[in-house]
Amino acid sequence: MRKVDLIIFDFDGTLVETGTDLVHAVNFMLKTLLLKERTEREIISFVGDGINNLIEKALGQDNAEYHEEALNIFTQYYSTHLLDNTKLCQYAQDVLMNYTGKTKIILTNKRYNFTLAIAQGLNIQKYFVEIIGADSTSYRKPDHRVVDYILNKYGTAKEKTVIIGDGVNDIVVAKKSGILSCAYLNGLGGRQDLLSLKADYYIENLLEVNALFC
């Protein structure tokens, strides 16, 4: 079991199942603009790089001129529907409770206000000393400077810091910054993509985390 002092959690697909509400919001946006709706699989594959990238990929190159309008439609809709179907991932609560005494941070490329609203709605914000969204700092995953900011602020050694996430950006930012990485293989991210990155640890379900770190 590896001793860590700081645990960084990704959000979408790692702690919370947000996929369904994101799919509904994207397709509402496309429908409003009289554009062809996307499949759930397509939309899920677009998640992880922030809202602008999500909208850009959902629109496609042929409809790029709608970006600003699409962003406004998506934002307004998602703001009021982000808890319609969203729930905690299996065992998320168990893991958070197990590490009550550890410093924990949410690091996500989702906007801060969306992340906070969901965390409060699911009553998990109390477990974290900080929530860092895409618009919280000048950097976002996989830029190593966002992890540097965390390490400097909390005075934690790289070798005693781990990021747990289901996305490529989580593993890449860990490698760039020199912290430990733990890839969750059953979230929103692509399984083979994660396996190809050779993370330090792999888990099939979140409960396995409790046996890896102390």
pLDDT tens string 17-26: 999 999 999 9
84 — pLDDT class (breaks 50, 70, 90): very high
DSSP 110: S
Mean pLDDT of 126-140: 96
Helices (H), 122-167: 144-154
Distance of alpha carbon 55 from alpha carbon 49, whole angstroms: 10
Residue 113 has pLDDT above 90, yes or no: yes
Residue 202 has pLDDT above 90, yes or no: yes
Residue 48 has pLDDT above 90, yes or no: no
Neighbours of 49 (CB within 10 A): 18
Contact 159, 177 (CB under 8 A): no
Length reported for the chain: 214
- CA 133 from chain centre, in angstroms, equals 9
Q: Are strands 87-88 and 16-17 parallel, antiparallel or unpaired?
A: antiparallel
